[in-house]
Chain A
């Protein structure tokens, strides 16, 4: 029935799936042992589909229903301490409710993988996407990646297990996908076979530790202050190593699917670009189309898509940012009193090298079209060429009127 594809002898199914279902298919292929979720709003269909898979026997996993997102992450924390491969998913307020447990997971170095369907935080009540929710956990020690399309959300989920469970890393991962724009949009995706994934992603090793009956030990007992700092230092180093591991995993994933995104960043027409745009998430596809059109008009623009904001691809930002005339960062989240979240990070890296302009747009799911990006980028280039106050991070808000109601 389905279209079959082959990549170097590997079989793939082409299916048209929404992001939520694609993630649950990836979780199934990763052969997770334990899933825990709070099933009600702001939850997504990801865990509903997984519940169906567990119920039908398609996925041999334990499914724990809990009373809140805090408990959901606590449950997978326990299961992961016991050596299981685990998964949970959440969104917006649910992620905020998990906040405390997020730190327990990362500070315990447990390779938990979680999908975060990024959605705005209220009030006003809003179910559409911006990156504010996922970026509130930026500093928690989780690896945080943003997908551009449904297929990448699928790939990133599978890769997250490989990255998080790597001996050099042992840190949890968040796969962020834009709410509704990716979670509910159906797109073709090529799904690799279970055999190929089994060969590529072996069962989890008993690291960093496994609690089991008869082995008496406690995790995170009160100790000297220096121990806390030392443990943080190991996490810091693991994050540094994760940069290399993310690049490696992305590269070797190509062997089974033919797909590779470039590791920590994706470079789109940057090689000869005078101006570089940086951004994250689904609208990078719209930005790419805008860049194609601008290139046709003679503007030398490129996109450095930040796939992972943690660990931050500092080297790539320096490499491509400092060889361009100016950098435009388009953010879907804002740090009130400073600027766009990503823009702030990029500006701090490129300080003294390249002027950076930040644009905040699309909050609460305000739709941004390629045409909008063309306008933004043209205005940015014009201002740079006229030398209008773009020496240091300036933040512009792109506002749209009304909406169709």
Chain B
């Protein structure tokens, strides 16, 4: 098994952390994983790419990802800002943070999860923005079969502690149940 994923998020939503949590969770599954952020002049709100590779064997390459197996979009508004099919040309599975299923053509499968509402419900707000990364990571883990919810929880505990960890774990568990086609 060898899979590549791209996360498109806004600076401040936690896309980079989401890919790292997924890499940790995949490692708990006994797999090899690699989480690569694509940094530029980071700005809060700008579109940030993060890459994730998951494999049964050691991953040697370190380049960026151009033809992903799955794409995760942390804000449905990103869909109207960039031409996704031009940027990521192959047919892939899409997962979007959205309260309803987006009307899009040309994807293998489209999943959606209302990660913003989940984050708000669990009071995961930082500087006025809902932090959707743990909910989205959990939904990705389920849809792309990257890791079990137990291992997502373990990975979240590596990045957060105390009350924040509990909130994030609750959000992750809810997203795991809510993600739909």
Contact = CB atoms under 8 A, between A and B. Distances in A.
Interface of A: 1, 3, 14, 16, 18, 127-128, 149, 178, 180-182, 184-188, 282-283, 285-286, 288-289, 367-370, 404
Interface stretch (B35-43, B101-109, B172-180): B35-43
A22 to B, nearest CB: 13
Interface stretch (B25-33, B72-80, B116-124, B161-169): B25-33
B39 to A, nearest CB: 6
Contacts, number: 74
B60 A185 contact: no
B3 to A, nearest CB: 15
B34 interface: yes
B62 A286 contact: yes
Given A289-B61, A368-B63, A369-B64, 5 more contacts: A16-B35, A149-B62, A180-B39, A186-B19, A186-B36
B20 A286 contact: no
Closest CB pairs A-B (n = 3):
A285-B60, A186-B35, A369-B63
Contact of A1 (B19, B39, B154): B154
A369 B61 contact: yes
A150 B60 CA distance: 11
A288 B34 CA distance: 17
Interface of B: 19-20, 23-24, 27-28, 32-37, 39-41, 59-64, 66, 87, 154, 157-158
Given A1-B157, A16-B24, A186 B60 contact: no
Contacts of B64: 367, 369
Nearest to A186: B35
B34 A187 contact: yes
A185 B62 contact: yes
B36 A185 contact: yes
B63 A186 contact: no
A188 B27 contact: yes
Nearest to A14: B27
Given A3-B28, A14-B27, A188-B32, A182 B62 contact: yes
B172 to A, nearest CB: 17
A181 B65 CA distance: 12
Nearest to B49: A404
B63 A286 contact: yes
Nearest to B154: A1
A367 B173 CA distance: 36
Contact of B61 (A18, A285, A404): A285
A149 B62 CA distance: 8
A286 B61 contact: yes
A181 B20 contact: no
